[in-house]
A and B are shown apart, each in its own frame.
Chain A
Amino acid sequence: MTVTSPFALEIGLGVLVLLVFLATLFARGDDRRAIGWLATIGVLVVLAGSFLVAPASTVPPALGGMFVLDGLAIFAKRLFLIATFIGLLAGLSSTDPVFARRSGEYHLLVLTSLLGMCVLASARDLILLFLAFELMSIPLYVLSGFVKRDAIAVEAALKFFLVGSVSSAVMAYGLSFVYGAAGTTSLAGVAKAFAAGSPLLVLGLLAAFAGFAFKIAAFPFHMWVPDTYEAASTPFVAWLSVAPKAAGFVALFRVYYEGAGERVVAWIPIAAGLATITMLAGNLMALPQQNTKRLLAYSGIAQIGYMLVGFAAASASGTAMVLFYLVAYVFGNMGAFLVVDAVARFEGSESTAAFRGLAQRSPLLALSMLLFLLSLGGIPFVAGFWAKLYVFWAAAAAGLYWLVLVGAILTVVALFYYLVIAKRMYIEAPERAARIRVAPTLAIALLLCVLGVVVLGVYPKPLVMAALRVATPLF
């Protein structure tokens, strides 16, 4: 059985959102965590359903070319679904009474945001793109301040919301220029106008770029990241740190590659510059962090910088390598956050000191953290190594040797702060001997991340090939 409707996954998700909504209406009592199971399993079903969709080439564009289900879209959607599944699964075992009572709201918001991401991945029209972007973003603001009696969470959410709204406004402003110059909102039309070379169009796209840079948390649009990550609940942050970033990159590909047509090389200097300062700033600011979530927040900014290196290559291989990087990042970064969650739940502290002697207390947990850190650091035989390597490779093939050198040297800086955590876990002696208990669902989520990091590290080829296949039609 194959599904040929381009909207199949969105319809599926929409149904799931309604189901969760209904379940919330009829749920009773203070413990409504069962709704979480409904959402999690639902996401898994939609993920399985994504493999029934007919091959990308046979699904016709819908809404007059506004909405496409090409290889890139389906690749990205599967990525969002996997990330969401892991994030929701890890959150199921949360013992926080707020989450138990308001489980319906929480999952409804996550799923709505996911729906926004999925639409975004298919959008080939500026208006639809912007709408999808907002559908994705607004639930995120609410989710960051989910624990509304916690002043810090509310502050972080407000910061996120204000900066996010301003960047959305700048993006809309920029896109209005684009419309003015191109006379159309379809990306194919924009590409035609771009080839003609209109300064107004370039100005508009640059302004819009700021909006995208905010969403993927590139420097200097990153300032919401550390505070939001620190204040929000960890399984949500694990998801927030990967899924919307991936969506942002897909949107970047759509607008700046598909919307630029032949003259795509025009973006290379800007993207390379942004990559450089993002890697530099993220890595340097991560150095003094003592709180693991803040540390991972800054390291995440640096990771975005590395992906921008691939984006700067402005080639099919560069795009494919960013897609591969995103997958590796989903597993590595979510995994690291989930270990932080496991340790923090038990120790009541998110500081790096809580990791002292973890290798002797819970060897498996320590080993998985080490794997995630090595993956983020780009060390051979885990996924992150290939990710960095491929991204650098694409940049080198585009002649950006200096960018490769800067990136490669900064990975050494990054390894310093990753190794600091490794040192806490492996070299320092534990303060307490108690083994850290990990809730079963969290353990499964962690296991999935470990599997992802290791399997991709040992055998990256199929995914690389798949990424190359979906990236090639963009150019």
Chain B
Amino acid sequence: MVADAVRFPLLSVITWSPFIGALLIMSLARHRPLLVRLIAVVTTGISTVLSLWIYVAYDTEAAGFQFYEKLSLVPPLGISYELGVDGMSLLMVLLTSIIIFTGVFASWTVQTRSQEFYALLLALVTGVYGVFCSLDLFVLFLFYELAVLPMYLLIGIWGSSGEVRPRGIFAWAFRETGVGTKEYAAMKLTLYLLFGSAFILVGIFALYVNAGAASFSFLDLEAITFEFGVQRWVFLAFYVGFGILAGIWPLHTWSPDGHASAPTAVSMLHAGVLMKLGAYGVVRVGMGLLPEGAVDLAWLVGGIACINVVYGALSAMAQVDLKYVIAYSSVSHMGLVMLGAATLTEAGLNGSVFQMFAHGVMTGLFFALVGLVYEKAHSREIFKMGGFGAAMPGIATAFTIGGLSSLGLPATAGFVAEVLTFMGAWRSDHRWWLWPAVLGTLLTAVYVLRVVRQIFWGPPSPHFHDLVDARGPEWVAIVVLVFTLVLFGMAPGLALVPVDTATVPLLARIVSP
């Protein structure tokens, strides 16, 4: 640890590099769109290279938190800027890097106010990195807010409103809210997530006050065993607070609206990374600090996760707007993530973390592709489109691979995650959880294959002409994401070895508190 402290502050550089990029963009690149993109590529590139580096350099033998940095901010209150990654956060940092790096390329074509767009996007990413790296709960909360707030402007200004409006009784019930528009989605998403952060804040305070140790440090709090009553309600507060971001039913409704309305890179980042941030919070902060509470409420977490899996899949089947299908599939897959965590078994928890990664990459790929399709065809309505495979073979192939990973085909990352989760469910105290999970996978196959067939491989639609395949920088996103998806499907050990070093101690605390 001591040797680490004086080393090059890798995690700080990873975290703040995009933020510096945002400042540079705001100050230097007025009316120079190419420079904006260049700065964005370079600064996120630095983070990506360094996160690959720490991924390789992480010592899985030693395990625990590495690349540790600490800087005392407010000593009397025990607030410090304390960073460190273990096997779990390591994978999440890598995921964030992959998604933002490809996201920068996927939003190459943003025309209006692109300077502000990239600046906000990069500021947001700093928040995401910060949450994954931070070991101080208070600073974690600050980063969390930083990750949530720019979303309002990103969706409100650069988002797109859906073509499909509610009909019948729903149209009447929502007549004043402007449901389906980007303004509505932006407001809903922001308020839901801030509502969640209220619970998180109360939970953090409760831990701080009850610990009596005048420290917000995760490492200090981990050493304390809280009273059972406190554990129960604080775990519930964290579950609700972080869970909203992870899209737990019935508080998930911000997610389809938000993801469908957001511009491509923001959808990628939000569905791909920010929702994981919620699940990560439940596992790291909730289960890590409150093991007894986690055991006591596992039935709730798992039960709701089962509803998520099935409900999300059924909702996805009913959608006619392509972005909504992907958004609801996220709700369903996040259910699998939470289910894996709720099993409190090694396989399940590993599956959960692996699913976070696999789903992050997969949904990032989906949103990137949907963005490309929308840009070329100017439509998101599934049944208007058809036969795009001939005109855009690259996009079609990538979409199909993503779809296969989504339904858990062997040799894709999705398969590994699902099998591990199923194993965990079977070994847990609630064996019946397996059935909703399997049912969800079957339903996923239905809606994914339906969409793929209709849009790409079906008969050509008469509405569209002169469609072209992806080109130039757009390929970067597709290639990187597909490659990652297949690589981690073929060699899951790449991720599972470090993840295991983080989940085993976590479970050890839960089983023998």
Q: Please tell me if the beta carbons of B202 and A412 are within 8 angstroms of each other in the complex.
A: no
Please state if A422 and B152 are interface contacts (CB–CB under 8 Å): yes
Q: What is the distance, in angstroms, from A400's C-beta to the closest C-beta of chain B?
A: 11
Range of interface residues on chain B? 20 to 34
Instruction: Give A461's nearest chain B residue, CB to CB.
Output: B74
* Cβ–Cβ < 8 Å partners of A273 in chain B: none
B145 near A380 (CB under 8 angstroms)?
yes
* Residues 47-78 of B contacting A (Cβ, < 8 Å): 74
Please report whether the interface of chain B is mostly helix, strand, loop or mixed according to DSSP. helix
Whole-angstrom distance between the alpha carbons of A461 and B201 in the complex?
Answer: 20
Interface residues in B16-64 by Cβ distance below 8 A to A read none
Q: B191 to A427, Cβ gap below 8 A?
A: no
Q: Do B202 and A396 touch across chains, with their CB atoms under 8 A apart?
A: yes
| A396 and B191 within 8 A (CB) | no
Contacts of A397 in B (CB 8 A): 209
How many Å lie between the Cα of A312 and that of B205 in the bound state?
17
Q: Name the residue on B nearest A420 (C-beta).
A: B187
Interface of chain A: mostly helix, strand, loop or mixed:
helix
Inter-chain CA distance A422–B157, complex, in Å, is: 11
Please give the distance in Å from B455's CB to the nearest CB on chain A. Answer: 31
Neighbouring A residues of B201 by C-beta, 8 Å: 389, 392, 404, 408
B153 within 8 A of partner (CB):
yes
Interfacial residues of chain A within 408-425, with CB under 8 A of chain B in the complex: 408-409, 411-412, 415-416, 419, 422-423
* Docked complex Cα distance between A401 and B206 (Å): 8
Contact present for B206 and A380 (CB under 8 Å):
no
Docked complex Cα distance between A335 and B74 (Å) = 28
On whether the beta carbons of B205 and A392 are closer than 8 Å, the reply is yes
CA distance A393 to B74 in the complex (A): 15
B contact residues around A434 at 8 Å (CB): none
In the complex, B146 has a CB within 8 A of chain A? yes
Q: Is B391 an interface residue (CB 8 A)?
A: no
Are B202 and A393 in contact, with the CB atoms below 8 A? no
User: B157's contact among A380, A393, A426, by CB below 8 Å, is which?
Assistant: A426
B157 touches A408 (CB 8 A): no
Using known A-B contacts A396-B205, A426-B156, determine if residue A405 contacts B187 with beta carbons closer than 8 Å: no
B146 touches A380 (CB 8 A): yes
Report the separation of the CA atoms of residues A426 and B190 in the bound assembly, to the nearest whole angstrom.
Answer: 15
Q: Verify if B198 is at the interface (C-beta below 8 Å from A).
A: yes
* A92 → chain B closest CB, angstroms: 33
Distance, CA A396 to CA B207, complexed state (A):
11
Interface residues in A146-180 by Cβ distance below 8 A to B read none
**Chain A residues whose CB sits within 8 angstroms of the CB of B153 once the complex forms:** 422, 426-427
Alpha-carbon gap, A412 to B209, bound state (A): 24
Contacts of A17 in B (CB 8 A): none
Q: Which of A379, A396, A409 contacts B195 (CB 8 A)?
A: A409
A389-B201, A415-B194 given. 16 additional CB < 8 A pairs?
A379-B145, A379-B149, A404-B201, A405-B198, A405-B199, A408-B199, A408-B202, A412-B191, A412-B198, A419-B187, A422-B152, A422-B153, A423-B183, A423-B186, A426-B156, A427-B153
Contact surface of B with A, Cβ cutoff 8 Å: 74, 142, 145-146, 149, 152-153, 156-157, 183, 186-187, 190-191, 194-195, 198-199, 201-202, 205-206, 209
A-B contact pairs, 24 of them (CB 8 A): A392-B201, A392-B205, A393-B205, A396-B205, A396-B209, A401-B202, A408-B198, A408-B201, A408-B202, A411-B194, A412-B191, A412-B194, A412-B195, A415-B190, A415-B194, A416-B187, A419-B187, A423-B183, A423-B186, A426-B153, A426-B157, A427-B183, A427-B186, A461-B74
